[in-house]
């Protein structure tokens, strides 16, 4: 059971919250009492998530947010400034897996020996640089005890690295590097930064054969976002336990 430590005077910002793990985290944090900012580039989908949270008695709004769009980031900053409310939780969830059989079109060759620079750069642009840009623009809005949760993958673990999915693996490993760097950058402000692997989950990205439910996939994220006793920073987590980088 997660605790409900905070009132509705603090934001939980979730990127890619229109579906999959992001949607489920947004709804769970809405139930925990956060004011939820549903970041979604699909505004209709994001609006539906915000409405579902409000129907359950929570507070939520959708902000159209492509994390690679600097104009969208400026609108995010403007909305947070206008609210005067700090960001207690950022879930850097938006991500792509372009080499996945469920994602790539006929123009993507997933073989590491042939995968195109375009695919590699796009992986970095969204999974690593996009997440870093969100952290950079939200930096003024965090307060002591805020949590930054970077949704990574066990496929980014260098100690377990195997072949395939080069762009996805490299970009999520870069995201893990950002976790370490920002944990240090924010240490004196008491802001906690961690990477979380949800495991292999039945979403659009994970596909129907994945062993985990969405509920299982978000458990560690919701725990880290809501447990007032959680004080760790600069680590990689799965199933509420630290795992090797």
Ligand X SMILES: NC(=O)c1ccc[n+]([C@@H]2O[C@H](COP(=O)([O-])OP(=O)(O)OC[C@H]3O[C@@H](n4cnc5c(N)ncnc54)[C@H](OP(=O)(O)O)[C@@H]3O)[C@@H](O)[C@H]2O)c1
Q: Residue 57 Cβ, how far from ligand X at the closest point, in Å?
A: 24
Helix H or strand E encompassing 225: helix 214-226
Q: Is 46 in the site for ligand X (CB under 6 A)?
A: no
Q: Residue 172 Cβ, how far from ligand X at the closest point, in Å?
A: 7
Q: Residue 204 Cβ, how far from ligand X at the closest point, in Å?
A: 4
CA 168 to each of CA 95, 143, 234: distance values in angstroms, whole numbers, following the listed order:
9, 31, 21
Interface region with ligand X, contact rule CB under 6 A, candidates 73-81, 90-98, 136-144, 222-230: 90-98
Count the Cβ atoms, other than its own, within 10 Å of residue 226.
24
Among 11, 12, 13, 15, the residue binding ligand X under the rule CB under 6 A is 15
What is the rounded distance in angstroms from the CA atom of residue 164 to the CA atom of residue 157?
13
Count the Cβ atoms, other than its own, within 10 Å of residue 241.
9
Helix H or strand E encompassing 183: helix 166-185
List for the chain the helix, strand, coil content (%; round to 5): 45, 20, 40
- Residues 6 or more apart whose Cβ sits within 8 Å of residue 188: none
Q: Residue 188 Cβ, how far from ligand X at the closest point, in Å?
A: 28
Q: Is 94 in the site for ligand X (CB under 6 A)?
A: yes
Q: Is 230 in the site for ligand X (CB under 6 A)?
A: no
Q: Is 124 in the site for ligand X (CB under 6 A)?
A: no
Window 183-222: residues binding ligand X (CB under 6 A) = 197-198, 200-201, 203-206, 210
Window 148-167: residues binding ligand X (CB under 6 A) = 151, 153
Q: Residue 156 Cβ, how far from ligand X at the closest point, in Å?
A: 9
């Amino acid at each position: 059971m997660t605790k409900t430590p905070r009132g509705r005077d603090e934001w939980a910002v979730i990127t890619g919250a229109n579906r999959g793990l992001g949607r489920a985290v947004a709804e769970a944090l809405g139930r925990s009492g956060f004011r939820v900012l549903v970041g979604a580039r699909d505004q209709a989908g994001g609006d539906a998530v915000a409405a579902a949270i409000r129907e359950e008695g929570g507070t939520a709004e959708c902000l159209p947010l492509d994390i690679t769009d600097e104009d969208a980031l400026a609108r995010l900053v403007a909305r947070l400034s206008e609210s005067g409310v700090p960001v207690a939780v950022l879930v850097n969830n938006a991500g792509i897996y372009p080499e996945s059989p469920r994602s790539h079109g006929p123009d993507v060759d997933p073989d590491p020996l042939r995968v195109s620079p375009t695919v590699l750069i796009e992986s970095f642009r969204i999974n690593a640089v996009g997440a870093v840009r969100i952290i950079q623009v939200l930096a003024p809005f965090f307060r002591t005890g805020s949590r930054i949760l970077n949704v990574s993958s066990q496929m980014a673990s260098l100690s377990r690295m195997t072949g395939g999915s080069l762009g996805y693996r490299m970009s999520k490993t870069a995201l893990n590097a950002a976790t370490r760097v920002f944990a240090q950058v924010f240490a004196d402000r008491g802001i906690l930064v961690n990477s979380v692997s949800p495991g292999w989950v039945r979403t659009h990205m994970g596909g129907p054969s994945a062993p985990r439910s969405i509920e299982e996939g978000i458990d560690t994220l919701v725990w880290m976002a809501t447990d007032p006793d959680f004080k760790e920073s600069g680590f990689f987590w799965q199933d509420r336990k630290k795992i090797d980088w």
